[in-house]
Structure 1
Amino acid sequence: MAEVAVRTAVEQDAAEIARIQLETWRIAYAEQLPDGALDGVEAEAATARWSEAVGQPPTAAHRVLVAYERVGDGDPTTVGFAAAAPADPADVEVPHGSALHDPATTVAIPALVVEPRWGRRGHGSRLLAAVVDLARADGAEHAVTWVLSGDTASQSFYASAGWQPDGTVRELSANGDLIREVRLHADLG
């Protein structure tokens, strides 16, 4: 029988978080990202960024969590991760200068990644539930995330947890090409 759980990341998790992120992006987003968009991303640099995010977060509300699975008496295997932070005003903007939610009471989830070979075992749901529980404890009333517009798997995952698109789209530059992301949000009440 397998043991599955979510815990707060520690600095020793940084290399595995970076590996999961880069490998998953290369597999899951190969057709959605422009050619070469990930070519310049080095594992060492990604590991350093995750080490800093875990070991020296800007605030107590900046969190990184990891999901793991242990089979039998073996060592636990890190299978996914999530990051959460207080929402930036840009995360909640809507056209014409108003806001979807108050950034002071909104958590942003910039990353929630489960390595594809560990998918469909509930790890993503456990990560999302843990992030939401911590955000509620911090006083958050709303949550937002951005998902690639062509990432129907992630959009379906969030929709199954009650998240909704609000019609806001942003474009980001990747190697000179534009990629589109849609914003999803949820009330945490």
Structure 2
Amino acid sequence: MKYYVENFLIALQQVAKGNKRYFIWLAFLSVLIATGIIAYIGQVEKGLITTGMRDQVSWGFYISNFTFLVGVAAAAVLLVVPAYVYHFKPIKEIVLFGELLAITAITMCIMFIMVDLGQPLRVWHILPVIGGMNFPSSLLAWDVIVLNSYLILNALVASYVVCKFFTGKEYKMSVIGPLVMISIPLRSASIL
């Protein structure tokens, strides 16, 4: 754990370096994030009526973005299979970026599901043991299980590879191989 904390602090130091344009870009992104948080707080206070989901355009925009992000997350398999399974050297150099992109896309997909629920208090309804998920008949339940499993597997693989990269050592396929092989069907199932 100490090693993870040290590497996280090193990464934070790298993020804090940059020119004036870089910090302007970070400030712009922070304003966008703050705007989204304020809009979500308004949705929690006033209800789902603020989203305009009754309108076909608003609902279509939401669903199309969710579907696009699921596809982006699943597309990482195009990098993972040649890199980890077939040991194709040129792809190994960029496979970590694909994994991190998949983690980002899955996180945004899960946030879309959270916003679609309306209130954070409704989350317990879709938890596997506590709530009534209506699995496997509910597509939302399917998305919750598959996307969260896929996120956990991607996070484990990416964190292991990044830690090995920082130490200058080669990662062991015996460690990440089983996780990669499990994640490949999950990638396919996430687009269903």
- What TM-score range do you get, normalising by the shorter chain? under 0.3
Structure with the greater alpha carbon radius of gyration: 2
Q: TM-score, normalised by structure 2?
A: 0.26
Name the structure with the higher strand share: 1
